[in-house]
Structure 1
Amino acid sequence: MSELNPPSFAEAINAKGFTGAAGFRIVTITPGHAELALTRRDDLVQFFGHFHGGVITALADQAAGIAVTSGLPQGKIGVTVEIKVNFLAPADGNELIARASILKMSGSIGVATVEVFARDDRSERLCAFCTATMRALDLPAGAIR
């Protein structure tokens, strides 16, 4: 079996484009698992003051992609084919935590689950649950430096 993608690969992916601008932080990566965090900012909330559903979805998508990519051979990357998010409670904490795990890898398709928690100084509350289907693609030459 080929060597898996190292955590530095996911960090390079996370730093580029939207995810870097949004402030997604990688907390931990192990093969098949990823935990990401996002600190609350005024530009990330909706009119009630909770994290916006699009922000929650984007964080879950990135966590799922990194979890799947971490379980792929070097030079492969997981890209989203389908994503479903169930919003379970208002995300009213000062930070979001997304914990993703590969549920099943089969050929070039992987399915990941993600639990998203709203965290404050006192507790962590489950606010969303996600399933994401990812396709393993070859990373284009020079795409990540």
Structure 2
Amino acid sequence: MTGDELVAALNKNNAPFAKMMGVKITAASKERIEAELRVTPEHCTIPATLHGGAIMAFADNLGGVGAFLNMPEGALTTTIESKTNFLRPVPVGQTAKAVTTPVKLGRAIQVWKTDIYDGEGRLAAIVTQTQLIRKSGGE
């Protein structure tokens, strides 16, 4: 599968919540996922900037995609921990961009870091999350 085919498949089969939010994966490999999210008023808090929960959900989705790309066939993943540092707002109308990379790729635990940038390319948030990898149907 080519890189473009992988991106198309990930966008087509992405989680319903990520699709509803408008997450668009733009590049993907086992070592790096890139995505963007156009900030609309529905994503915002007051004042009109990207809500912290939307930032966390954006990053959580991408960490899950990274875990999916690196886990054995038939396994499942779930987030068991997430930490976010909010550094600057992302105003409505801008497109937030994210770069997700692995910190640790273990058999049972994966740790992912997502850097989220505002529309001017400035770092807006850093999200670190831990993904549990488990067998399908098991605990």
TM-score range, shorter chain: 0.7 to 0.9
- Find the residue that maps to 1:124 and give its secondary structure: coil
CA 1:78 to 1:12, structure 2 compared with 1: closer, same or farther past 3 Å? farther
- Find the residue that maps to 2:60 and give its secondary structure: helix
The correspondence of residues 90-105 of structure 1 with structure 2, limited to 5 A, is 90-92=89-91, 94-105=94-105
Give the TM-score normalised by the residue count of structure 1.
0.81
In the TM superposition, residue 9 of structure 1 has moved relative to its aligned partner by 5.7
- 2:121 aligns with 124
RMSD (Å), alpha carbons: 2.0
Aligned sequence identity (%): 25
List gaps (5 residues or longer) in structure 1: 1-5, 141-145
State the Cα deviation string for residues 72-107 of structure 1 (Å, max 9, x = none): 233234320100000011112611111111110122
CA distance in 2, matches of 1:101, 1:21: 24
- 2:110 aligns with 110
List gaps (5 residues or longer) in structure 2: none
The correspondence of residues 1-145 of structure 1 with structure 2, limited to 5 A, is 7=6, 10-14=10-14, 16-92=15-91, 94-119=94-119, 123-139=120-136
1:97 maps to a residue whose letter is K
CA 1:110 to 1:9, structure 2 compared with 1: closer, same or farther past 3 Å? farther
Does the 8 A contact of 1:23 with 1:38 survive in 2? yes
Does the 8 A contact of 1:32 with 1:70 survive in 2? no
Does the 8 A contact of 1:35 with 1:99 survive in 2? yes
> How many aligned residue pairs are there?
131
CA distance in 2, matches of 1:21, 1:139: 26
